[in-house]
Structure 1
Amino acid sequence: MRMIPDRVPSGSSQAERRIFQELRELEVPEWTVALHSLNLPEHVRKRVCEIDFLLVGERGLLALEVKGGVVSCRKGIWHSRDLRGRRHRLKESPLEQASTAMFSLENRLRNHFGAELPGRTVFAHGVVLPDCDFDVASAEWDPAMVMDAHQIATTGWKAWLDALGTFWEEKPGSRARLSAADVKRYLEFLRPDFDQIPTLRQLSQQVEADLTALTQQQYRALDLGRSNDRIIFEGGAGTGKTMLAAEICRRSADSGVRVLMTCRSGVLATFVGDQPGLEKATVVPFHRVAEFDAASFDLVVVDEAQDLINTADLEAIDRVLAGGLADGRWIFLLDSNNQRGLVGHYEAEAMASLNRQRPAKLVLVDNCRNTSEIVTATQQRTGADLGVTTAGHGLEVSVLEPPVNEAGRAIGEVLDQLVDDQVPLEHVVLLSARDFAESVFGSLPPVWRQRVDLLDLIRLRSPTPGRIGFADIARFKGLESPFVLLESPPPVDTNAARTELYVGMTRARAALWVVSPISPARQGQA
């Protein structure tokens, strides 16, 4: 069944999410489209109301009210008890909700179409109770109108929908099945109120809200590591390593611990150091570690640690840490499989030396930065394991392959669309392994080229509204942006190119465009 919209909207209940997926997988010729969360601006008793699912097809229009948890009725008062055991009083029964919502929809359709089309349409309603068995008989409803957990598991959707359709078709009135043209007319009226395509800015805001909530999951790792003096967190890009590093430093410094957080990148170190609550911690790029006296810190936290796991760099950390690496407290956060070699260098023997200190090891598998589309595209193009994305859906990753001499114009069209969709340009970052002038972005039309800032520490701290940022992929490692346009490195046949592509693609939170211009030679081959 075609779902509109094609993914579950934010705020949907667990029960609605389940029913959404089951309807999506259902093939019933008589019901071809399901509209989820159809809002009605007029209702017989309420200011507004919502139909959980409206099925539209040749058999007519069917409103489904979904009520999760367990429902009960005592002395005419309906209650629901959710899966956490919390009880809620309902203003009306689920069947009454479905009935009045469908009656209100019918009135609205009659006002719009007149009497002819609605007059021969079957208007039906039913209730779905996916979490409980419901075998209560009453004069107020017919058993055919209710689908409960038992029926879902045994009878199934097709049989129930067929029986429900027959129940309503047998009601008095000159009702008939709808033609394809009739269905189209209904959808063309219903869809504008319901299926407005979200702008990119709205999509970004939703993804940002999801990500803000999901990063709370990463805090569980903090509790697992509280009793360990030496810890290695390992996970792919987007699994929340930098967030964990900052939170560890914040909590430890508040407890009076002398904390050093460091990483190879000066840009990342400055960005993290500016975060609220880190005033009591020392956050510096690695090249400044040598400035501190021996045993200056009780805890050393190393982010992007794959850049520093070599004998010389570990000796520098050992010197400033009270007790050294053997007896002191340290936490390394790394992505050893996919980001090694882009900056700094990694030595297997140095890693073995760290492991001999028997650190606790925690593997981070929840990707809380990238949408499932970005994760899938990155895995397909680089083979990297980004863990399991919990950040939900976003836009499909777009691959732009214009001829070289038209690349700037093609990128400009993407930027035009972002402006049309009200995306703040300071939320957009252009990434390349080359300098701006030599990159594909250097060929942008003048109207766009003059709005690009080369990102530095000042601009990262305080982006200029209405300005687009440009950064080298390596310098942007550890950072992120809602919208990223990435110049694809040369053909991914070397580890370095694959690493650049991996790092660049995983900087995007909400939407990603990969720009891979076609050279004249490739055009000729095509």
Structure 2
Amino acid sequence: MAVMIPDFVHPDCKSNAERYLFYRLKEELDENYIVMHSLGLAQHGRNFSSEIDFLIVSQHGLLVLEVKGGRVRHEKGVWYFTNRYDETDSRRRSPMQQAKEAMYALRANIWTKFGKNSDQGKTVFSDCVLFTDILFQETSPEWDLKKVYDAASLQESISSLVEEMYSYGIEEHERVVGHLPVKLSNARLSELRDHLRRNFDLVPSLSTQVNQSYQNMIRLTDRQFKVLDMLENDRVVVRGGAGTGKTILAMQKARNHARRGEQVIFLCFNALLASSLKKSVQDEDLQDQILVTTLHAFCLNIIKKAGLVSGIEEDLGTHHFFQKTLPEYFPEAFCHLYDDSPFEVMIIDEGQDFKYYKPYVELVDWLVQGGLKDGRWAWFEDDKQAIFNIETGDEEFDLTQYGTGNIRLRENCRNTRPIATFTDLVSGTEPQECLNTSGPLVEKIYYRGVKHQFKKVENMVSRLLSDGIQPDEIILLTAKNTEKSVLADHDRIAGNRLIQVDREWLNPSHSIRYTSVWKFKGLESKVIIVTDIEELVSIEAKKLNYVSFSRANAYLGVCIHKACKEEFNQLAREYAMLFVSQSQM
């Protein structure tokens, strides 16, 4: 059996004649023959480039084969080729000219690479044409019939035909050059094969993969804007998993209202998310129409403006203040300043962090003209990201009582398929349709202790930097409070400044930022590394991991304590069983 390179016919090959000859060459020639299918020639005497249908390489030299199937017609100097689909292609150059020109281009390439007087340069270079479906006995001074084979010829064995082609090539070489061609040794054959179709595995750099995945994510996000037309309801609830575009749509809806001259309040739960979105609003010069703020910051500011902060200073910043004092003082302060809300439209992102605590829902009710019942508002949420535990015993607040429209986002346009799959596996969430399919695999490491983990994280960061990722593209998240993180006692990592971001979104150059998962919720980054993972199977751990892993656009690294290794393996087995069962449905 011949050595075929490649060893299969590419699906793009539409020529039945080439498919037919491929399998005959493969089966009927022995292992001493190397057959290359569709060999490209970047430099060609007549064209910018060309392609050889088949090139046979053996110790006897090189044979260029031009293959033509179907009907062939020659009229007034033009050749017409009609395939099995009754499609006709015309060319002024005959198949014999094509084969000869390709052979000359190949020989020139070999001479350039190895030298005209090398063994490879002095071997046989010959060309032949095979008409697989017709009888061809037409004579012309333009071609040599001894180099033309037709359907009758193919009744013979391929091996005898190839031997005949080589014999004529040797005879022609001796007649033209004056001596016999060189017979190639195995070493020279190997060099020739390596030159013509070298085996290589050039892996794109990690930065290339990350940037391609990120650019693809930006393009895919445009698909989500088709939902905007559905958001024109006065009151609408939008639900979707991580990465489905909730924040993007929420901000675009806010922009649309602002550009109509309406006053918009954009509420979220996380200070870092508010800081990032506020910068975006300022960059677009919409800060006079859109107020981006957290619920807590807005309410505290109203209480301060109303002069009601005295007596509660010691309570500021505590859980008691946010959960008890703030809801108690805000209504009086708001009424002291306004007869009605100054905001015509309210957008709420991270709604799952409000609706399980009734006092927060009551606060929100004050903030838009007409309130929740009659006002205009859009509520965006993902119950799987409800990671701020407020033990109140309150049931989920029913927003449908206000006659809301309901929209479900199902397409993940933030994460690559490897990241989305890993997130589903560890968090136990139901797989979503992932639009961005390609990207680097998730890098998972196990650590033994604090020093060991920091060294592993630093090695990961160093590899990313050496592969072209910029420091400000890397975000480190801790699954602990930041003061207990593996990063807490460090101000540098992999030769770069390490900066903790808390309430304000900083973006210093040549610095790597870190924060907690809770504070980064709602945000995203090209590159995310999650540290301090010490639990996998509890409900709380699964929710936290779901939030943290889904922050990554294109690259995700995770650091898991070695004590959780069996827990991870069990989750992987459960996910595999789920995948198999779903694929059989």
Per-residue deviation, residues 237-263 of structure 1 (Å, max 9, x unmatched): 111111111111011110122211111
Alignment of 1:323-334 (within 5 A): 323-334=370-381
Aligned partners of 1:62 and 1:395: how far apart in 2?
41
Distance 1:436 1:350, change over 3 A: closer
Aligned partners of 2:127 and 2:394: how far apart in 1?
69
Offset of residue 420 of structure 1? 1.6
Secondary structure of 2:494's aligned partner: helix
The number of residues matched between the two structures is 439
2:204 pairs with 1:198: yes
Find the structure with the greater CA-based Rg: 2
1:220 to 223, 226, 229: 226
The aligned counterpart of 1:413 is 459
Aligned partners of 1:61 and 1:361: how far apart in 2?
68
Q: What code does the residue aligned with 2:560 have?
A: S
Superposed CA RMSD in Å reads 5.3
2:334 pairs with 1:288: no
The aligned counterpart of 1:267 is 272
Offset of residue 123 of structure 1? 10
Distance 1:346 1:112, change over 3 A: farther
The aligned counterpart of 1:153 is none
Runs of at least 5 residues in structure 2 that lack an aligned partner in the other structure: 13-22, 28-35, 66-76, 81-89, 139-157, 170-182, 303-333, 567-585
2:243 to 219, 238, 242: 238
Offset of residue 410 of structure 1? 2.2
Instruction: Please say which of residues 100-109 and 386-395 is displaced more in the overlay.
Output: 100-109
Secondary structure of 2:480's aligned partner: coil
Offset of residue 520 of structure 1? 12
Secondary structure of 1:474's aligned partner: helix
Q: What code does the residue aligned with 2:484 have?
A: E
Aligned partners of 1:50 and 1:265: how far apart in 2?
60
The aligned counterpart of 2:215 is 209
The aligned counterpart of 1:434 is 480
Secondary structure of 2:415's aligned partner: coil
2:542 pairs with 1:498: yes
Aligned partners of 1:3 and 1:248: how far apart in 2?
55
Offset of residue 365 of structure 1? 1.4
Aligned partners of 1:452 and 1:124: how far apart in 2?
67
Q: Is the 8 A contact 1:308 1:344 kept in 2?
A: no
Q: Is the 8 A contact 2:533 2:561 kept in 1?
A: no
Secondary structure of 1:516's aligned partner: strand
Alignment of 1:397-412 (within 5 A): 397-404=442-449, 405-412=451-458
1:517 to 561, 576, 579: 561
Aligned partners of 2:99 and 2:240: how far apart in 1?
47
The aligned counterpart of 2:253 is 248
Aligned partners of 2:557 and 2:272: how far apart in 1?
24
Offset of residue 482 of structure 1? 1.0
Q: Is the 8 A contact 1:473 1:500 kept in 2?
A: yes
Q: What code does the residue aligned with 2:423 have?
A: T
Q: What code does the residue aligned with 1:514 have?
A: V
The aligned counterpart of 2:362 is 315
Q: What code does the residue aligned with 1:371 have?
A: T
Instruction: Please say which of residues 99-108 and 474-483 is displaced more in the overlay.
Output: 99-108
The aligned counterpart of 2:574 is none
Secondary structure of 2:558's aligned partner: strand
Runs of at least 5 residues in structure 1 that lack an aligned partner in the other structure: 5-14, 17-26, 64-74, 79-89, 127-134, 140-164
Distance 1:411 1:257, change over 3 A: same
Per-residue deviation, residues 207-247 of structure 1 (Å, max 9, x unmatched): 12111111100100002222x11111111111111111111
Aligned partners of 2:347 and 2:443: how far apart in 1?
37
Distance 1:438 1:100, change over 3 A: farther
Q: What code does the residue aligned with 1:247 have?
A: Q
Per-residue deviation, residues 163-196 of structure 1 (Å, max 9, x unmatched): xx99x979944799x999968974687568x853
Give aligned-pair identity as a percent.
Answer: 25
Distance 1:268 1:392, change over 3 A: same
How does the TM-score come out when normalised to structure 2? 0.61
Alignment of 1:355-504 (within 5 A): 355-385=400-430, 387-404=432-449, 405-436=451-482, 438-441=484-487, 448=494, 451-458=497-504, 460-461=505-506, 463-504=507-548
Aligned partners of 1:440 and 1:28: how far apart in 2?
64
Q: What code does the residue aligned with 1:300 have?
A: M
